[in-house]
Amino acid sequence: MLSFIGVGLYGYDVTIEALEEAKKCDKLYGEFYTSKLSISIEELEKILGKKIIVLERKSVEEEKEIIEDAKKMHVGFITAGDPMAATTHVELRIRAIEEGIETKIFNGISIVTAAASLLGLQIYKFGKIVSLPRPYGSYFPLSPYDAIKENVSMGLHTLILLDIDDMPMTANEAMELLLKMEGKRKEGVIKDDMLIAVVSITHDKKIAKAGYLKDMLHGEYGKGLHSLIMPGKLHFMEAKALVKIADAPEEILK
């Protein structure tokens, strides 16, 4: 059997069902390149009570070690957030099924729902999720700008997931990058006076702040992984939630 086990955003928010499943497994593998935890692997091992064999991307996508082990024993595949949020994991599950291996899914808390919940935004009013990579060399991708523009045109909220390779991108760095994109495209999508929100979640602190980009640019948002949310057309209750929960300017209620 191959069990796909999501351990949430920081390990301590793992569901009881997922925790019990991890303890039943004969062997635990884990990958943390598609999404990172805000705690160390050692801390997660203490929570689960078992050693985790951490895999690199190539090991998950190309090698057959997990599949071969799952033919002989009960294997757990550990990920941050929800295990089926990444296409790589769906492909691994399909490979297992094709090999006659039983698979089970143990869903975990995802930033996709957590960000909306912390800010009081309605989940069904979100548009396309945007990943924001760092530029390097002459590579400066502008596809995030196009996706944000599309969401803005439809009045939808945009969840922006930040680059986690090497050093995770901060909200401050991300906002600077969005302004640089606007400088290149000049289509008026990213503005100094536009509303933007930051979410940062760790075991001991959850941060949800909203305000105008020019005011948020140099804020402090904690040590957890950061995500940006660009609100679209707000329902009155959403606007009230941003003011009362995330300290957004009261003038957005007008």
Q: What percent of the chain has pLDDT over 70?
A: 100
> Partners of 226 in the beta sheet?
200
Res 213: pLDDT: 98
Res 127: pLDDT: 97
pLDDT above 90: residue 33: no
**DSSP sequence for 51-110:** -EEE--HHHHHT--HHHHHHHHS-EEEEESB-TTSSHHHHHHHHHHHHTT--EEEE----
pTM of the full structure: 0.92
pLDDT interval class at 166 (50, 70, 90): confident
Domain ranges within the chain, ordered by starting residue = 2-106, 111-253
pLDDT above 80: residue 63: no
pLDDT above 80: residue 129: yes
Cα–Cα distance between 58 and 61 in angstroms, integer?
A: 5
pLDDT above 80: residue 126: yes
Q: Which is more confidently placed, 236 or 138? A: 236
Look over the chain and give the mean of its residue pLDDT values, rounded to a whole number.
Answer: 94
Cα–Cα distance between 188 and 125 in angstroms, integer?
A: 22
**Contact at 8 Å (CB) between 231 and 238?**
yes
Domain 2-106, architecture per CATH: 3-Layer(aba) Sandwich (3.40)
Res 88: pLDDT: 87
The answer to whether 2-106 and 111-253 have equal CATH topology is: no
Give pLDDT tens digits for 181-237.
999 999 999 999 999 999 999 888 999 999 999 999 999 999 889 999 999 999 999
Pairing of strands 226-230, 158-162: antiparallel
CATH class of 111-253: alpha beta
> Partners of 2 in the beta sheet?
75, 103
Cβ neighbours around 9 below 10 Å, total: 26
